[in-house]
A and B are shown apart, each in its own frame.
Chain A
Amino acid sequence: MSTIHPDQAAAEQLMGKGAAAGGSLPDPGDGSLIEDPGVRAPLVLNNRGFGEITEIVCGYAEKPYPDKLMLMLLGLSATLAGVCGLMILYLIITGVGVWGLTNQVDWAWDITNFVFWIGIGHAGTLISAILCLFKQKWRTAVNRSAEAMTIFAVICAGLFPAIHVGRIWFIWMVFPIPNANGIWPNFRSPLLWDVFAVSTYFTVSALFWYMGLIPDMATLRDRAHKRMLQAKRAGEKVFLPDMIRAYTFGALAGGWRFSSRHWHRYEVAYLILAGISTPLVLSVHSIVSFDFATSVMPGWHTTIFPPYFVAGAIFGGFAMVLFLLIPAREIYPNMKDILTLRHLENMSKIILVTGMMVGFAYTMEFFIAWYSGNKYEAFIFVNARALPTWLSADGAPYWWAYWIMISCNVLSPQVFWKRSMRTNPLVIWIVALLVTIGMWFERFVIIVTSLHRAFLPGEWHMFHPTPVDILTFVGSCGIFLTLFLLFMRFLPMFAMAELKAVTPQAHRHDKNDPLHAHDEHEEGGH
């Protein structure tokens, strides 16, 4: 037993006198996991300066030739995207009968995929908007790629409701377009609200992303311009990609010249966009849940759906961010300085929290099914979802889907209670993969299990996906990955201006303020 006071032990340890017997601070990992209350954990490791941050981030986008791995992945994902295009073409020229839909199960993989993708999109807005409002500076390491992911996921999401209508040449009827028949959409339908919510969400996310990109595209423009000037001075030929960059990013950056007066309006505008995106993201997934909640189907007709869907969307979206960025962090040079273990740990904690919220919603659905005394509701939850067929003859044929959902979404994140697990990139990556699978199954369970056991046993049907169903979904993953790889190849993956602003040297040291006069590690941090 120690005779030394715990406070003294901690003080001695801070002074570097070795682990005193009273207690030991946890391992700081790569340096970002430091739990010393006197030191703010660095957001960018190795004391990277402004110039180094520019070099690292622009280096990814300016590599003259893509490496083999990138080409292989891009080839694979572009092939899958092409398969998706062919499947959609086949669907349009043949009809929705090429999917496994039946007269009873008339929504299945199409709407599952829609909700799955739109949910993934929500993490991007959460990171860029909600964490911005809460002044969580660690968002700077992931916001750019998460926002890109949002846009690509919403593109994939928008695909499915558009093609599932069958006669796609009538899709314009969902928009309030003046027409010769003098008819207008039904504004009481949540499906129509969905059209407005998703298209607004896509537009606002794209604007938000573009606005964040303006200064960074200006950086790429200036670097390309400088290389062109250098080549001209040396009498060499200008490298064509630099010329393309200078003109493209020049036009897109709109003549941004890093003026402080501009920065001031830019920051105010950014804050407003964050402020409106926050209720927007909550409204979009609430409206998606209304598609189900306003119906009278047992298992759908519940008031818990909006918050439950929003929590699930954030959960699945963060899993996708981690799933994409952890391999990138291993492959790209110096990315570990920007995307630190602390960032991964923070996101793991969000996965844990939202996973528990989703688990609470699953439990509450069961409780209400019993407590409400509604036997149709209880039947859906017990005999169409949870009860395995090997336990009872009245069991749910889709029990395996339900239990995949529970084990992936509720059980797998529980490993994050342990610090060593939530700071281990491989473990996080595996959990992220499981959560992504689990969240797809959650939507499948909600949609198909309710539909396949409706009120009349005569309408009971199983759903069997056809190869077209499967290839369309796999192909949509190809579209998503292709767009994301192109983004990684050509655009700055990190918000450089924001990263620079959270480094310690970005702050003015006021000579008159004794609090700020002594040390740099006071600033920046979490």
Chain B
Amino acid sequence: MSVAEYFPMLKQFLPSGLQDPPPRFTGPNGKPVHGLVAQYSAVDPVCDAAEKVRDAGFTAWDLHSPFPIHGVEDVMGFKRTKLPYISAIVGLTGAGLGYLMQWWMSGNYEIVVQGKPPTAWEPYVPIIFEAGILLTAFATIGAMFAMNGLPRLHHPLFTHEAFLDSSDDKFFVYIEAKDEKFDMERTRTLLESTGADRIDVIEDE
């Protein structure tokens, strides 16, 4: 995702290197085309369509469904996310910080309890554990949002009223115009061949 896409309000200030490439296609309203969206009403047809789009070699495309479809990774052909590594690294860092905090504070202000050494590690275990869990939780949700390019206040798809049913009971395949293989005519023909209920052009605003 480009900087300009995520912060459209910054477009005018960005150096040319970070600008979006000039639009290749123009939509019916004379604005640059963002993509083509096809609508389906059940899981089977949308998965069949997704397999066709995958096999056609598209990369900048997506399947929108009201719930996670089981096995969609294979249908769309993408790899398992690296998110767990982020969780693990941050979680272990959290546990380490939990230990360091207790070790430093106990050494800095020594409280003698039962004659035990002030910086013995054993009593620190519960808080080390809790600190690790806390940071893992924040890292997991934070990484999920960041890797998804969220939160964002708007997306061109939301200008398409029928797309709002993706949160209810409809399924969509969306191919973005920035994909190298994208072509208004040929991509539309491909989507038509999948038996979509309707196909619409999504324009930038």
Contact = CB atoms under 8 A, between A and B. Distances in A.
A175 to B, nearest CB: 11
Given A259-B64, A280-B133, A182 B109 contact: yes
Interface string B147-158: 110111111011
Contacts of A257: 64, 155, 157-158, 166
Given A225-B164, A262-B150, A176 B101 contact: yes
A516 to B, nearest CB: 11
B44 A509 contact: yes
Interface string A495-521: 011101100011111000000000000
Contact of B133 (A188, A200, A262): A200
Given A272-B83, A273-B140, A259 B164 contact: no
A259 B76 CA distance: 12
Interface in B29-47: 42-44, 47
Interface string A262-283: 1111111100110010011001
A276 B123 contact: no
Nearest to B145: A254
Contacts of B130: 193, 196-197, 200, 280, 283
A268 B109 contact: no
Given A263-B65, A268-B84, A276-B136, A255 B126 contact: no
B128 to A, nearest CB: 10
Contacts of B201: none
B68 A187 contact: no
B154 to A, nearest CB: 7
A267 B105 contact: no
B116 interface: yes
Interface in A237-264: 250-251, 254-264
Given A255-B154, A259-B62, A505-B42, A272 B136 contact: yes
A269 to B, nearest CB: 4
A374 interface: no
Residue among A49, A196, A225, A267 with the most chain B CB within 10 A? A196
A259 B67 contact: no
Interface of A: 49-51, 54, 176, 182-188, 190, 192-193, 196-197, 200, 203-204, 207-208, 210-211, 215, 218-219, 221-223, 225-226, 229, 250-251, 254-269, 272-273, 276, 279-280, 283, 287, 290, 496-498, 500-501, 505-509
A33 B53 CA distance: 42
Interface residues of B, number: 68
B63 interface: yes
Given A272-B83, A498-B67, A188 B113 contact: yes
B81 A258 contact: no
Given A200-B134, A204-B134, A222-B164, A188 B111 contact: yes
Residue among A50, A196, A208, A269 with the most chain B CB within 10 A? A269
Nearest to B108: A184
B113 to A, nearest CB: 5
B136 A508 contact: no
A260 B167 contact: no
B81 to A, nearest CB: 5
A501 B68 contact: yes
Interface in B59-78: 62-73, 75-76, 78
A255 B80 CA distance: 23
Given A269-B143, A280-B133, A260 B72 contact: yes
